[in-house]
Amino acid sequence: MVLGVAAYLAVTVLARLELPVIALFLALVITSVLRPPVDLLARVMPRSLAVLLCLVGAVALVAGVLTLVGTTVADEWGRLGGELRGGLGRIDRWLTGAPFHLQPGTVTDLKARIGDFIATHRSMLLSTALSGAGRAVELLTGLALAVFCSVFLLHSGERMWTWAQHQFPARTRPVWERAGHAAWHTFAGYTRGVLIVAATNAVLVGIALVVLRVPLVLPLVVLEFVAALIPLIGSPIALAIASLVALAARGPVVALLVLGLIVVIGQIEGHLLHPLVLGWSVRIHPVAVALSVTGGAVLGGVLGAMVAVPVVSVAWAVIGALRHDTPDD
């Protein structure tokens, strides 16, 4: 009962401190990704300079990708608008035939109703957009805090961990050392592995979309990469969005082929990528992964779904490490 109450209080406090908790999680993600190149550069230059170079390079890479996506969307928007208008007409004609037999003009009526809804609820949509803008400011603040924390974690993370260990009684320090090593090994392995899996999925989807001549390939590839960070459900959602673009621009046949990618990518991810890339660092059953993602989504939305699996993996690794008397058992 005491442990249950303590866990409930911990979750309640962390929920109230959402912004710093998310910032610390992002800082740990950045640290786990940049730690190998920082250690490599630190062999030939001061560690502070290695941290600076890696952080600047990472920021430049992300900014370059976002700029490229924005430029691609701007360049293709005019052509895509014409394709979408023609695609809506094709969808309308397709729905009026077998086996749907809907009334002619169904898509046109739906578009008109959406326009009427926007005109009627303009004030509500504006307030929602303003609240979303405030949320974006919070996220930028959290991102800045995450980068700030990652600088110190990359530069002197070991010294910070040693200092934290010395705050506990001497007889319990070996236990904390074992638990911390297991937690970091699992978290870093999961983070690097899921990024590799997401990048592989994005490349495969990009090749397929290019072959099928679906527009907005680069934005859809970036969407696939980000969505694949959420296990099980992220990639199918991104591919469903890609299939809608394909339906409007290329017709139902191409859209069905894009939907077929959900099965293909799922099989590759589940039977090849996850066992090879994540098997050595994360050892939890797929049922536990599904329940973790679902529970995280219920409790914390998209962010909860993204952090649920690493949190559960780290907790399980710590429990497994503390069951043994020595780290090697």
Give per-residue pLDDT as tens, 280-322.
Answer: 666 677 777 778 878 877 777 777 778 888 888 888 888 887 7
Is a pLDDT exceeding 50 seen at residue 328?
A: no
Nearest to 261 by CA among 235, 293, 286, 222: 235
Phi/psi for 285 (5° steps) reads -70, 150
Give per-residue pLDDT as tens, 114-163.
Answer: 555 555 655 665 565 455 556 667 778 888 999 999 999 999 888 898 88
Q: Is the peptide bond before 99 cis (omega within 30 degrees of 0)?
A: yes
Sign of the Cα torsion 203, 201, 313, 18 reads: positive
Residue 30 CB contacts under 8 Å (≥ 6 apart), including other chains: 58, 146, 147, 150, 154
Residue 218 is which amino acid?
Answer: L
What is the Cα–Cα distance from 227 to 202, expressed in whole angstroms? Answer: 10
Name the maximum alpha-carbon separation found in the chain: 78
Percentage of the chain lying above the pLDDT 90 cut = 13
Rg of the chain over all Cα atoms, to the nearest angstrom: 24
Is a pLDDT exceeding 70 seen at residue 191?
A: yes
Average pLDDT for the chain? 78
What is the Cα–Cα distance from 220 to 202, expressed in whole angstroms? Answer: 9
Instruction: Write down the pLDDT at residue 151.
Output: 92
Instruction: Write down the pLDDT at residue 329.
Output: 42
Instruction: Write down the pLDDT at residue 40.
Output: 92
Instruction: Write down the pLDDT at residue 50.
Output: 92
Give per-residue pLDDT as tens, 220-253.
Answer: 888 888 888 887 778 888 888 888 888 777 777 8
Six token digits for residue 192: 């690097």
The answer to whether 268 and 180 are in contact (CB under 8 A) is no
What is the Cα–Cα distance from 210 to 222, expressed in whole angstroms? Answer: 14
Domain extent listing, the chain: 14-167, 170-329
Considering the entire predicted model, what is its pTM? Answer: 0.75
Lookup result for tokens 């290695």 = 50
Residue 209 CB contacts under 8 Å (≥ 6 apart), including other chains: 217, 220, 221, 242, 246, 258
